[in-house]
Amino acid sequence: MDKITAEKLYDTCYMQVYSFVMTLVKNQHKAQEITQETFFKAITTDKTFRGESECFSWLCAIAKNIFIDDTRRSSRYQDEPDEPVADIETDIEQSITDSDTSFRIHMLLHEMEEPYKEVFELRVFGELSFTQIGAIFKKTETWARVTYHRARLKLKERMEKNEI
């Protein structure tokens, strides 16, 4: 595909494709990534648009395939969904905003045994992924998830015990 055709295709269809992808992923950052990858594949692929359908339909088919591949790829590496974890993290993070509560939670964290303490701190305060945490400890992502989950439960139990 020549440069002028590629620019015209991008200019005329970008927002439509982006809107379509947003309905699939419901995440602005991820939708931008998939949309960019869609146009990259459409422009650089050996197979060109044959004209059997509209350009928009062709681009949406590419985007849908990228979305499916990405979903399959990420599901292989996720043992549990991140969303419930994020809700629990948010509850704990909201408690941390109060300085007195924050100090008491940090005291509980300080008393927590390793590796639970460090894994929890890396996940919540360091905002690292489970893959990154596993790499730090030279363990698997699953180990990091399980250790974080156990640390979170221990902290929650101690918070309830101390009425925080």
Class of domain 82-161: mainly alpha
Beta-sheet strands, E only, within 15-91:
none
Mean pLDDT of the chain: 79
Bigger pLDDT: 106 vs 49: 106
Give the start-to-end residue ranges of the domains of the chain.
3-77, 82-161
Determine the topology of domain 3-77 in CATH: Rna Polymerase Sigma Factor; Chain: A (1.10.1740)
Task: Provide the CA 44 distance to its chain's centre, in angstroms.
Answer: 27
**Closest residue by Cα to residue 149 from 119, 106, 125:** 119
pLDDT of residue 83: 44
